[in-house]
């Protein structure tokens, strides 16, 4: 759910729904005096809209699409089937969909009662794009807000270069966008609230804010694309630096114009044995393992691709596999339906089943299980100087890479990787990295599934690499140290362990905090200022460097002499990740 419902002194009902995993905003707008309502830019699973409308005495009579979406499969067909609502688009959409639509031109209105919706034709992101002005007390009333679709975002504008606009160049659309913004949207009062279709994380723009609403006045002064500039300057500004469009965008934009199958939100997900999963895989199915990157690294079905359910699951699935490919899921228990629905939101409906009890299946079939190679920043730094023909691949977006990367690495953004695999040599040792480790785990597993023998990813990504460079510049020799017995006697000490996860899981000081060396810079705020801070690693070297760095930042930290090895040899207990006696590895 997005913003809280608006119940104005008039009869306006207004609700924003926000889907974090796709950075997608949709809207329910109604008139409480008549009960008439519309839904704008709906997601494919529509149960929330139906429940919200029923709870507020509203009847959905219209489904309005601000344009043919490319980043998700819209729920217009599902809503029309469930409610009998008509489906509406801008005038330039006439004749394109395979299903009946109503089209709206500049200045057309939809009367819900006192609440009136006014249509603005705002081409630019796509030719058929519209914006919808919400007037709470008839056409003469001041606008409450404007739903801008992908024309105007908070902090950005819609990109004009997506494949959804086949037959129209990015230059042409950018020029349309320039005029739509300045001659339509910026003529609205500064107090008019702006409600876009997307927020930060969406590939439909390059500089989207984490805010999901604003005002015309705020955007007039803060949005880079609305600054005074010529049409030519605008075209150059908005087309420069855009990320590569995800692979599935053309598919979704096409499917949003087709009369396709409806989503059944209650559909059961078939459970598969290991042999059934292997049979589907050998017949061309992609196995998507939606567990965390750590769980995946510890053991997974050979040839599977890791896309963690905790991130932008569907979007990244759409970046690394071809639409229509059969899918076998490996998911945390209880999340089978969630994974299937999230894939359905981008039109990936061909889920043939989910591996039943994957932990048991892996234990009983070790011949089909492999682990993932993951390197710390320190380990990668060593390899760059010792491993011949090492290939480094930065899978971040161009805008991220432009701010800095590892010397000698190839910039191949994740959405481009699948199509560029033929350019790479699967026999060469390869390491992939991103900003924090999520995308690189996807990339590593994708390359591995395509025959790369020696491929690793860097834990913590480029953030960890930069942090390691900071640590390397600090010498641990002169930093204040403390012995194990003194630490053990201080029950109030804050002990944090900077080793990698597999080291921590094998054995660590009870009640200590795990903070890998590569995460220290970004997590520095977690360190207390009212307790003794003790840093620990395996032998005292890494923790010494971290201690030196933290003291340079004004944090009173001490290094545990000899690390976990000394702690154990002094007779103090280490525990493993399940609470049993631990060891130092």
User: What is the SS3 string spanning 556-579?
Assistant: CEEEECCHHHHHHHCCCCEECCCC
Residue 421 near residue 450, CB atoms below 8 Å: yes
Q: Judge residue 26's burial from the number of C-beta atoms within 10 Å of its C-beta, 0-12 exposed, 13-18 middle, 19 or more buried.
A: buried
**% of the chain residues with pLDDT over 90:** 75
pLDDT score, position 472: 65
**Quick one: pLDDT band at residue 1, thresholds 50, 70, 90?**
low
Give residues with Cβ within 8 angstroms of 275, minimum separation 6.
Answer: none
> Which of 42-46, 160-164, 243-247 has the highest mean predicted lDDT (pLDDT)?
42-46
Looking up tokens 């002990």 gives 495
Instruction: Give the pair of three-digit tokens for residue 413.
Output: 């953004």
**% of the chain residues with pLDDT over 70:** 96
CA dist 419 → 247, 255, 443, 451, 500 (Å): 9, 22, 12, 15, 33
CA distance 455 to 390: 10
Over residues 323-369, the pLDDT tens digits come to 999 999 999 999 999 999 999 999 999 999 999 999 999 999 999 99
The dihedral through the CA atoms of 155, 157, 159, 164 has a sign that is: positive
Q: Report strand pairing: 86-90 vs 102-104.
A: parallel
CA distance 515 to 383: 23
Over residues 25-49, the pLDDT tens digits come to 999 999 999 999 999 999 999 999 9
pLDDT score, position 518: 78
**Quick one: pLDDT band at residue 476, thresholds 50, 70, 90?**
low
pLDDT score, position 335: 95
Which domains, ranges and CATH numbers included, belong to the chain? Answer: 6-253 (3.60.15.10), 267-370 (3.40.250.10), 373-469 (3.40.250.10), 475-575 (3.40.250.10)
CA distance 356 to 341: 18
Over residues 480-512, the pLDDT tens digits come to 889 999 999 999 999 999 988 878 888 999 999
The answer to whether residue 284 scores a pLDDT higher than 90 is: yes
pLDDT score, position 506: 86
Residue 339 near residue 328, CB atoms below 8 Å: no
For residue 383, which of 431, 426, 427 has the smallest C-alpha distance?
Answer: 431
Q: How many residues does the chain have?
A: 585
CA dist 109 → 38, 115, 138, 184, 251 (Å): 13, 10, 10, 16, 32
pLDDT score, position 208: 81
Least confident of 440-449, 475-484, 496-505, 524-533: 475-484
Catalytic status, residue 557: no
Give residues with Cβ within 8 angstroms of 11, minimum separation 6.
Answer: 31, 32, 33, 34, 113, 114, 115, 136
Q: Judge residue 538's burial from the number of C-beta atoms within 10 Å of its C-beta, 0-12 exposed, 13-18 middle, 19 or more buried.
A: buried
How many angstroms separate the first and last alpha carbons of the chain?
A: 46
pLDDT score, position 6: 62
Mean pLDDT for 75-80 is 98
Mean pLDDT for 201-206 is 79
Least confident of 219-223, 262-266, 312-316, 473-477: 473-477
Mean pLDDT for 513-522 is 86
Mean pLDDT for 263-289 is 96
Over residues 546-568, the pLDDT tens digits come to 898 888 888 999 999 899 999 99
pLDDT score, position 141: 95
Mean pLDDT for 238-256 is 87
CA distance 549 to 284: 50
**Quick one: pLDDT band at residue 207, thresholds 50, 70, 90?**
confident
Give residues with Cβ within 8 angstroms of 563, minimum separation 6.
Answer: 536, 537, 538, 539, 540, 541, 543
pLDDT score, position 166: 66
**Quick one: pLDDT band at residue 585, thresholds 50, 70, 90?**
confident
Catalytic residue among 204, 434, 535, 537: 537
**Quick one: pLDDT band at residue 164, thresholds 50, 70, 90?**
very low
Q: Report strand pairing: 513-514 vs 494-497.
A: parallel
3-state secondary structure of 2: coil
Residue 100 near residue 87, CB atoms below 8 Å: yes
Instruction: Give the pair of three-digit tokens for residue 556.
Output: 């009173």
3-state secondary structure of 526: helix
């Amino acid at each position: 759910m997005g913003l809280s419902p608006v119940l104005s002194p008039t009869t306006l009902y207004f609700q924003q729904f926000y889907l974090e995993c796709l950075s997608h905003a949709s809207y329910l707008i109604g008139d409480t005096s008549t009960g008439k309502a519309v839904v704008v830019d709906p997601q494919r699973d529509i149960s929330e809209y139906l429940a919200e409308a029923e709870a507020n005495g509203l009847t959905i009579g219209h489904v309005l699409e601000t344009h043919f979406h490319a980043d998700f499969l819209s729920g217009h067909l599902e809503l029309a089937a469930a409610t009998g609502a008509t489906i509406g688009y801008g005038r330039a959409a006439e004749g394109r969909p395979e299903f009946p639509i109503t089209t709206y031109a500049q200045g057309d209105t939809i009367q819900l009662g006192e609440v009136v919706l006014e249509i603005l034709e705002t081409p630019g992101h796509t030719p058929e794009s519209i914006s919808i002005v919400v007037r709470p007390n008839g056409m003469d009333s001041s606008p409450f807000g404007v739903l801008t679709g992908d024309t105007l975002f908070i902090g950005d504008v819609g990109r004009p270069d997506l494949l959804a606009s086949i037959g129209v160049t990015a230059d042409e659309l950018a020029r349309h966008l320039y005029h739509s913004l300045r001659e339509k949207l910026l003529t609205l009062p500064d107090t008019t609230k702006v409600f876009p279709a997307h927020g930060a994380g969406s590939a439909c723009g390059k500089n989207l804010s984490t805010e999901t609403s604003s005002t015309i006045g705020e955007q007039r002064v803060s949005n880079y694309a609305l600054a005074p500039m010529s049409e030519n300057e605008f075209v150059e500004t908005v087309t420069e630096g855009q990320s590569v469009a995800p692979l599935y965008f053309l598919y979704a934009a096409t499917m949003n114009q087709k009369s396709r199958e409806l989503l059944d939100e209650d559909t059961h997900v078939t459970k598969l044995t290991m042999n059934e999963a292997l049979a589907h895989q050998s017949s061309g199915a992609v196995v998507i393992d939606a567990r965390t990157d750590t769980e995946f690294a510890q053991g997974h079905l050979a040839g599977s691709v890791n896309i963690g359910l905790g991130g932008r699951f569907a979007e990244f699935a759409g970046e690394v596999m071809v639409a229509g490919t059969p899918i076998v899921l490996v998911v945390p228990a209880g999340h089978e339906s969630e994974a299937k629905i999230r894939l359905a939101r981008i039109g990936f409906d061909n889920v043939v089943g989910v591996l039943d009890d994957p932990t048991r299946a892996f234990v009983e079939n070790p011949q089909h299980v492999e682990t993932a190679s993951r390197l710390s920043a320190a380990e990668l730094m060593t390899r760059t100087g010792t491993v011949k023909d090492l290939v480094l691949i930065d899978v971040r977006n161009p805008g991220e890479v432009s701010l800095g990367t590892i010397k000698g690495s190839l910039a191949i953004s994740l959405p481009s990787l699948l199509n560029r695999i033929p350019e790479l040599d699967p026999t060469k040792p390869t390491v992939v990295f991103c900003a924090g480790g999520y995308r690189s785990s996807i990339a590593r597993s994708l390359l591995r599934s395509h025959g790369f023998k020696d491929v690793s990813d860097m834990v913590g990504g480029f953030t960890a690499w930069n942090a390691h460079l900071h640590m390397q510049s600090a010498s641990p020799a002169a930093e204040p140290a403390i012995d194990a017995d003194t630490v053990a006697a201080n029950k109030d000490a804050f002990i944090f362990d900077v080793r990698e996860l597999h080291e921590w899981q094998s054995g660590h000081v009870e009640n200590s905090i795990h903070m890998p060396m590569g995460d220290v810079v970004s997590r520095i705020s977690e360190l207390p200022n009212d307790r003794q801070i003790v840093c620990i690693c395996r032998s005292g070297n890494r923790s010494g460097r971290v201690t030196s760095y933290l003291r340079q930042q004004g944090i009173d930290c001490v290094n545990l002499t000899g690390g976990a090895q000394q702690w154990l040899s002094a007779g103090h207990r280490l525990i493993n990740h399940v609470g049993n006696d631990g060891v130092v590895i």
